[in-house]
A and B are shown apart, each in its own frame.
Chain A
Amino acid sequence: MATQTAEDGGAIRIMSVLEMRDVTKKFGGLAAVSGLNLVVEPGELLGLIGPNGAGKTTVFNLITGVYKPSSGDVLFQGMRVNGLRPCRIASSGICRTFQNIRLFKQLNVLDNVRIAAHLHTKANLLDSILRNNRLMTNDRELTEFSLMILRSLKLEDVSDQRSSDLPYGLQRRLEIARAIATKPRLLLLDEPAAGMNPQEKVELMELVRSVRRDYQLTILLIEHDMRVVMGICERIYVLDYGELIAEGKPEAIRKDPRVLSAYLGE
């Protein structure tokens, strides 16, 4: 089903998946993000980098509706989404992972994914209470769908473990699995490689690529590790002090003097 929507969307309207127009976010007097313009094209794998405190996660929070922009617009598939509640934005097709892992700790792995999959449920609360056929069929479908995602992310072996008991690397992977289960159009990954060893990072890069391929996703990714970013991203935005300082292909970014000075200091 995810495939279908993606194709339909692609076929009918050729427009950017996400567009941020002159977005500014101020906390008190301080601008965490100022005048940001950002465009994500369908099917892209885009990197967002910048030194610590550059406002990368704030950008994610602005896109997903956790923060409302002080000024400017966020458009998702041509529709304004700023001002919508996070759950509305999520159900319209943007999903994210969190930098500091936010799994549903006491629930098992399968339930974590099933919660995300609930967006496609056709049964309402009354069905849940009455436990009728519609619910049973529906829940079975959702469970199968979730198991399928778990399988494709190689998590099916741990599906009935408590998510807080998982090793760190698997928790990160479960975050991605959970986000995919909402069947997003645009996936936002917030430092997916943080805290991983080189081996795991290589695996992760492979995983991101395969996920993008299998689920027809557009991915926006925040990452600190240059090797990961340069390795998988097709285009990169660089933020510093809340402002966009560079944009382009990895090779170009690598050589950009402003980026170098932002990272290495003057």
Chain B
Amino acid sequence: MRIFIQQLIFGIQLGSLYALIALGYTMVYGVLSLINFAHGDVYMVGAYIGFYACTYWLPFQRLSADPHATVMNIILAVVVLLLSMLLCGVLGVVIERFAYRPLRNGLGITDAHFWGFAIALPVAFHFHLFHRLSDGAGRFLFGIMWFLLIGMIVGYALRPVIRWISLRTVLSPSRLNALITAIGVSLLLENGGWLVFGPNPEFIGTMVPEKNFKILGGVIINSSQLAILVISLLLMLILRHIVLYTRTGKAMRAISHDIDAAKMMGINTDQVISVTFAIGGALAGAGGMMVGVLTHVQITPLFGLLPGIKAFVAAVIGGPGNIPGAVLGGIIMGVAEAFVGGSSFSTYRDAIAFTILIIILLVRPAGLLGRNVTEKV
């Protein structure tokens, strides 16, 4: 019984995290019907921002008995959380602006891409140097930089050609295009991650004090886990408020019902979609940061892959586009994983996650809480 309750608690903790990431998937799916594959990688970037902030950017003190330092560290950790949310929100908007919007509106490659590239380059360069030079493997560095620079110039010169291709051939892009673009963005973030953050796993040391609480009959709750659970719930409540009671939230819901009608009602759909990506990115950033800082798992450029997929599965189980569904799906995934993980079938954990998914899809093709939209004939 103790083990049962303990596993249930683990499941809910894990599930709350999945739910947090799943919300980003589900919101984007709601407004755009797009599976934003890159979302898991935004989560990864959130963890890296946590790592850099904790290790290099902010004056964290070594944990000691000094209560002053402890309080300082906790305040700083909150700052890191907000910073991570901010930057990941921005990243979400950037992804939407540079990859999905041009595809959606049939704009192709625009000038903005080149300027965006020109700004992103030095930033990537900074991180790249930061890592490679310290372990003496930065030999190809300048070669690569020149390669990219030349590529940029040549690309810029080739703009008329690109224009020409774009103007001649842009059709209404299919879902498949959107999906492949999303996969491309995901690959870019992962492989850009290798380049920018380096291939070695990073770890964030203990930044805030941790404590185990024993509750009824030996069930243990860890303070960090509790913090993750509480912050996740808090963020979900804030999200709920935004979606239900603000103008933007109403606009989001309008768009998810019918984007064309929303446009005709004078809603600036591009702007609302940007906000959606910002919120999704911020939630993923918060998730990544919390996992990195509070559970000290290894952070690699592939950090977001597995949680991303699982959160995505959670979103689908709940019904993509449905916000309570994402939370429900996340919790189901988390609990199922905890119980399977603790059983003798633990090796089949991921298979079982997907089996649950397939079964639920077959029984309820639009997910547990999703609306089953029949096509009008």
Contacts and interface: CB of A to CB of B under 8 A. Distances in A.
Chains A and B touch (C-beta atoms under 8 A apart): yes
B377 interface: yes
A100 B376 CA distance: 9
B177 to A, nearest CB: 15
Nearest to A27: B374
A66 interface: yes
A163 to B, nearest CB: 15
A215 B376 CA distance: 30
Interface residues of B, number: 2
Nearest to A106: B171
Interface string A38-76: 000000000000000000010001000010000000000
Nearest to A99: B377
Interface in B40-88: none
A241 interface: no
Q: Is the interface of B mostly helix, strand, loop or mixed?
A: loop
Nearest to B375: A66
A57 B375 CA distance: 13
A98 interface: yes
Q: Is the interface of A mostly helix, strand, loop or mixed?
A: loop
Interface string A81-124: 00000000000000000101000000000000000000000000
Contacts of B377: 57, 61, 66, 98
Contacts of A66: 377
Interface string B338-377: 0000000000000000000000000000000000000011
A61 B376 CA distance: 10
Interface in A6-61: 57, 61
Interface residues on A, range: under 10
A60 to B, nearest CB: 8
A57 B376 CA distance: 10
Contacts of A100: 376
A256 B314 CA distance: 58
A66 B376 CA distance: 10
A98 B376 CA distance: 11
A100 B377 CA distance: 8
A216 B377 CA distance: 27
B170 to A, nearest CB: 15
B175 to A, nearest CB: 15
B250 to A, nearest CB: 25
A113 B122 CA distance: 58
A61 B377 CA distance: 8
Nearest to B171: A106
B100 to A, nearest CB: 24
A97 to B, nearest CB: 12
Contacts of A61: 377
Contacts of A57: 377
A263 to B, nearest CB: 24
B261 to A, nearest CB: 16
A238 to B, nearest CB: 22
B248 to A, nearest CB: 31
Interface in A104-146: none
Interface in A142-197: none
Nearest to A57: B377
A57 B377 CA distance: 8
Contacts of B376: 100
A66 B375 CA distance: 10
A174 to B, nearest CB: 18
A98 B377 CA distance: 7
Nearest to B376: A100
B62 to A, nearest CB: 63
B377 to A, nearest CB: 5
A32 to B, nearest CB: 12
B287 to A, nearest CB: 38
B325 to A, nearest CB: 20
Nearest to A67: B377
Nearest to A190: B377
Interface of B: 376-377
5 contacts: A57-B377, A61-B377, A66-B377, A98-B377, A100-B376
Interface of A: 57, 61, 66, 98, 100
Closest 5 pairs (CB-CB, A-B): A66-B377, A61-B377, A98-B377, A57-B377, A100-B376
